Structure 1
Amino acid sequence: MFSIDNNILASYPSTKMGILVMRGVSYSGSCKESEITAVIDGLHQKYGHLDRAALKELHPIGAYVAYYKKFGSSYHLLSQLESMLKGKKSVHSESGLLQAMFLSELDGMLLTAGHDLSKLQLPLQLKIATGAEVYQSISGREVTAVQNDMMLCDQTGTISSILRGPDYRSRITEATTDVLFSIYAPPGIEADYIEKNLNKLENRIRSLSPSAKTELLQIFS
C-alpha cells in the first residue's frame, strides 16, 4: 500500500510516515464536547505560558520548524496553535472526521492529511518533489509542488505535499466512507510518538463511527 522512495531517506534521513486506514466511517457528527474541552484545556496547560520562540524549541514542533526553515517557510500548524490559544480559532466542523483529525493534529502537533480512500489509486509513495509537479489543492486552486519538498503520491499523481497541502481530488467529502490519514514526520520524530497519536485519532473516529474497522495502522520508515 505504501513505500518511501530512497531519495527521501538520502535527503531527509530517518523520515517517517504514519498511515491509518479505516473503513465504514461517518462523515458527519461531532466529537464529544468533553473531548474537545479536554484537548483545548490541555493545549493551554502545555503551551499557554510560552511565547513563539519557546514553542519552536518544543518536540515535535522543532522538527517541523527546522524542515520548513529550509524553504524559508513557517510551520502553519504552529500558527493555528497560537490562534487556538488566543481563542481566535474554533475546532468545530460540519464533518466529525475532519474535526477529529484537526483535534489530533493540535493534540500531537503532527502534520496530518486526510483522504478518501476510494479516490486513491494505490499503492502510495512518499517522494521528493522536482518542482514540476502540478496539482489541484484542496481549495480548488492549482498549485506547483516546491522543489525538494516531500510529497505523497498515488498512481495518478500528487495527493499532498508538506508545503502545499492536500489535493482536491482525494479530499474527504459527505460521500466518504473509507479514509486514509497520513502523518508526515521529518527527521527528529520518534515512531512511538507517531503511533501514539495515530491511536488517539483512531479512537476519536471510533467514537464517531462505532462500527468502523481499522484496516491499517502502521509507521513506515
Structure 2
Amino acid sequence: MITVDPKCSELYPGLCIGFLALNGTSSAGENGDRALDLRRAELEAELRRRLSGIDKATLATLPPFPAYSAYYKRFKKTYHVLLQLESVALKGRSLASPGALVQAMFMAELENRLLTAGHDLDSIAGPIVVRAATGREEFITLDGHERRLKPLDLHMADDHGVISSIIYGPDSRTRIHPGTGRVLYTVYGVPGIEPAEVDLHLQRLEEYATLAAPNAAVEERRVLTTS
C-alpha cells in the first residue's frame, strides 16, 4: 500500500512511516459520537492534569517535540501539534474537529504528539510512495489553496499526485468526508522517532477510530522503517 523511496533514508536516516487502513467506517458518528466525546473529555482533563504547572518552553522539550522541531526548523516552520497541545493543556481550550474520524485522529495525535494525516482510502489512486520533494510538486491543500512543496519536504503521493506533506498537511482530493467507508491514517516518524512509538500510536488510533465507528475493521497496520 505504501513504499518509501530509498533516497529518503539517505536524506533522513532513521525515518519511519506508519499507516492504518480501516474499513466499515461509513457509520462513524451515528452511534459513536457520545463514546468518543466522553473519551475526548477524559483525554483533555488528563493532559491538563499531567502538564499542569509547566510553561510553553518546557512543553517544547517533551518528546517527541525536539525531533519534529528539528525537522520543521529547516523550513522555518513550527510544529503545529505543539501549538495544539499548548492550546488544550495550557490554555484550557477544547479539541475541535469536523467529524468523528478526524476527531479520533486529532485525539491520538494530541496524546502521542506524532504527526498524522487522514484520508478517504477509496479516493486514493494506486500505491502510495513517500518521497522527498524536488520543489516542483504542487497540490491543493485542505483549505483549498494550491501549494508548491518546499524542496526536500517529505510527502506522500499516489498515481494522481501529492496526498500530504509534512509542512503543508493533507490534500483536499482524498480528504475524509461524512461518507468515508474506508479510512487511511498515515504517520510521519521523522528521525528521532522510534518505530515502537509509531506502532503504539497506530494502536491508539485504532482504538479511537473504533469508538467512532464500532463496525470498523483493520485492513492493514504497518510501520515501515528505513536504514
- Whether TM-score is above 0.5 comes out as yes
Separation (CA, whole Å) in 1 of partners of 2:195 and 2:53: 28
1:13-69 Cα distance to aligned partner (Å, 9 max, x none): 010111000001034342434311221122123333222222222111111011111
| Contact 1:80–1:89 under 8 Å retained in 2 | no
Of residues 98, 101, 104, the one that matches 1:100 is: 104
- Please show how residues 191-210 of structure 1 align to structure 2 within 5 Å: 191-210=195-214
Separation (CA, whole Å) in 1 of partners of 2:4 and 2:100: 30
Deviation at 1:213, TM superposition (A): 1.1
| Contact 2:36–2:208 under 8 Å retained in 1 | no
Separation (CA, whole Å) in 2 of partners of 1:122 and 1:47: 42
Separation (CA, whole Å) in 2 of partners of 1:138 and 1:89: 23
Letter in 1 for 2:20: L
Query: In the superposition, relative to structure 1, how do residues 179 and 78 fare at CA in structure 2: closer, same or farther (>3 Å)?
Result: same
Deviation at 1:94, TM superposition (A): 4.5
4+ runs of 1 displaced by more than 6 Å?
none
> What SS is found at the alignment partner of 1:66?
helix
How large is the RMSD of aligned CA atoms in angstroms?
1.5
> What SS is found at the alignment partner of 2:185?
strand
Separation (CA, whole Å) in 1 of partners of 2:43 and 2:221: 22
Q: When the two structures are aligned, how many residues end up with a matched partner?
A: 221
Separation (CA, whole Å) in 1 of partners of 2:167 and 2:180: 25
Separation (CA, whole Å) in 2 of partners of 1:145 and 1:100: 27
| Residue of structure 1 in register with 2:7 after alignment | 7
Separation (CA, whole Å) in 2 of partners of 1:186 and 1:32: 29
TM-score (normalizing by structure 2): 0.92
Q: Please, which runs of 5 or more residues in structure 2 have no aligned partner? A: none
> What SS is found at the alignment partner of 2:60?
helix
Separation (CA, whole Å) in 1 of partners of 2:69 and 2:101: 27
Separation (CA, whole Å) in 1 of partners of 2:98 and 2:153: 31
Deviation at 1:91, TM superposition (A): 2.0
| Residue of structure 2 in register with 1:186 after alignment | 190
- Please show how residues 62-81 of structure 1 align to structure 2 within 5 Å: 62-81=66-85
Moved more, 164-173 or 32-41: 32-41
TM-score (normalizing by structure 1): 0.95
Separation (CA, whole Å) in 1 of partners of 2:28 and 2:166: 24
Identity of aligned residues (%): 36
| Contact 1:129–1:150 under 8 Å retained in 2 | yes
Separation (CA, whole Å) in 2 of partners of 1:77 and 1:169: 23
| Residue of structure 1 in register with 2:118 after alignment | 114
